A and B are shown apart, each in its own frame.
Chain A
């Protein structure tokens, strides 16, 4: 008798939980997805239609916003820039992180512990808080080096730009900002590679670089993939730093271009929505394609930051 009562109570409470759970999930999912869908739907309206019908379905699908926005905002070159920045900085930082991770994990040394802790300290620093000093450093270095080159007679001081308004500086700063998390994860990962493997190779006369090439890189593909999946969206969506490092349109990234575009064209809603959709699509597709891997890696990796 007792037992059945207890059972009934349980199933009732479970039922309430279930209903409650579904309602909560539904509400939050709708909240998450409706604004995005709204954006996509509205990119198929003309500006005139948007002004009278903001929340509804378009009366007629108007696709000319996309070519219009693409041309007006120069999104071709912006897209290319974003690809260059993302691929280069994620690739280089991944390689350097693994290199340093190997050094920290497998090569004994006195100073390496201190250097490692300096890197770990960097996990707590966010590059956005440093955007003013980074900008000043970049522009000062340019002016100092420019003066130097002028004295030597290579070029005039004003026209010299190694850092400001160059792809090089953007990639350099991005690589630097990705290094702490990359080095942390790589060091932890390389530690799990058996030391005996490295030692055996040492005895056979292999140098550290050979070991790195032949043993560490092939064994570290999983961690490199994790880093890539974590870092690609970060860099692609980055705004604060590139905003101060680059003023030339031809060097801007996609988010920066979208921001500039929506500022100059604030009344042409059709094109603005198309631009926003162009801005969100690459990462949305990236996510939809690699959803499973990203979910697993964010869960496993990001906590460690």
Chain B
């Protein structure tokens, strides 16, 4: 009875692992593996090459960031939100729960493309921020003009120009090489406008312009990805933790409440110890899941710009499917990923044992 599923399992999961180990030690370069005799086992050279490859370490570091954000971001946040609902600190628990889980059901591809659009340099985020900047600038400009009792067409006072520059001197310097002269010239050009139009036009020129180019900068382009990772999956852990909290014996908490325990200490001394097992299981789930970040990053940045946001899975994909294929290298990366996740999972098991994780009933 277990034979048919076992064969499929071997075909899809077990055999590729073996194949991957063999190929990572070989010099296979496309063509047929069997029958041509061109493939030889050449040893651990690929791994040596990999370890001296700066792009590999870069991708590896990004992977670690994602693991860290997953384990120390998604889990605590999910736990905290679940606690708020569980203790009925907020009403309408099912409603919040339902809303917060929505990101987890949407296709990761859609999510990646969507956030790429939102974070694009002249996208909606920039539009909102610039709108806010603009209207606050308009208000300030209006006040300055009022204080000088300025009507369009009046003689322009130097003090007023200075005050206008002072509203946001950096933005003014960006707009004109010589802000003083530039503003005077602009006001003169616009002298046929009504006062309102003048203020609008001047604000458009002088207010601060911001463009959200996180995704294109060296230092910041991982941030949006980490944020979206958090955005995507926190809701799922919220639901898992909430389900497990509901299994906790209510009397323990009630008696603690009667003894005058505060929310903080209930969370710390009752809920977290009780949930230890599921926290550990979620960490494993998290680590395995964070190595699955391929689709999200692939659709959001494609590993770019210039490989800054690359993770191991994307680097592997690039080696195997883009340009001339380097299959041994790709397989070596694949094996590194498997090893890495197994090591991390072993580590969580160790931590669990060290903290006396007896309640491993899950």
Contact = CB atoms under 8 A, between A and B. Distances in A.
Interface residues of A, number: 94
A258 B240 contact: no
B81 interface: yes
Nearest to A29: B99
A299 B8 contact: no
A133 B20 contact: yes
B243 A299 contact: yes
A35 B9 CA distance: 39
Interface stretch (A64-72, A220-228, A280-288): A280-288
A130 B339 CA distance: 12
Interface size class of B (residues with CB under 8 A): 35 or more
Contacts of A10: 260
B109 interface: yes
Main SS at interface, chain B? helix
Contacts of A177: 12-13
A286 B12 CA distance: 28
Contacts of A13: 262-263
Contacts of A287: 101-102, 105
A129 B291 contact: yes
A8 interface: no
A36 B106 contact: yes
A202 B21 CA distance: 45
Contact of A302 (B12, B102, B285, B341): B285
Given A128-B313, A136-B23, A258-B113, A303 B281 contact: yes
Contacts of B281: 303-305
From B89, B105, B113, name the one whose CB has the most chain A CB atoms within 10 angstroms: B105
A35 B81 contact: no
B198 interface: no
Interface stretch (B41-49, B52-60, B183-191, B315-323): B315-323
A284 B34 CA distance: 46
A125 B338 contact: yes
Interface stretch (B90-98, B139-147, B171-179, B350-358): B90-98
A148 B215 CA distance: 50
Contacts of B236: 298, 302
Given A25-B81, A134-B16, A175-B8, A128 B114 contact: no
B299 to A, nearest CB: 6
Interface in A85-127: 96-97, 99-100, 102-104, 107, 112, 115, 118-119, 122, 124-127
A296 B281 CA distance: 17
Contacts of A212: 1
Interface stretch (A73-81, A192-200, A235-243): A235-243
A253 to B, nearest CB: 10
B134 interface: no
A285 to B, nearest CB: 10
A240 B16 CA distance: 16
Given A55-B127, A239-B109, A115 B6 contact: yes
A115 to B, nearest CB: 6
A97 B8 CA distance: 11
B153 interface: no
B1 A239 contact: no
Contact of B1 (A54, A102, A291): A102
A302 B12 CA distance: 22
B330 interface: yes
A166 interface: no
Given A25-B84, A124-B345, A295-B97, A303 B231 contact: no
B155 interface: no
B331 to A, nearest CB: 6
B69 interface: no
Contact of A35 (B101, B118, B239, B299): B118
Closest 5 CB pairs of A and B: A299-B243, A176-B12, A103-B1, A133-B16, A133-B20
Given A39-B110, A124-B342, A244-B321, 9 more contacts: A28-B81, A103-B1, A122-B9, A122-B13, A122-B14, A125-B17, A240-B313, A287-B101, A295-B101
11 contacts: A32-B100, A96-B5, A129-B337, A133-B16, A147-B32, A176-B13, A240-B295, A259-B299, A296-B243, A299-B244, A305-B285
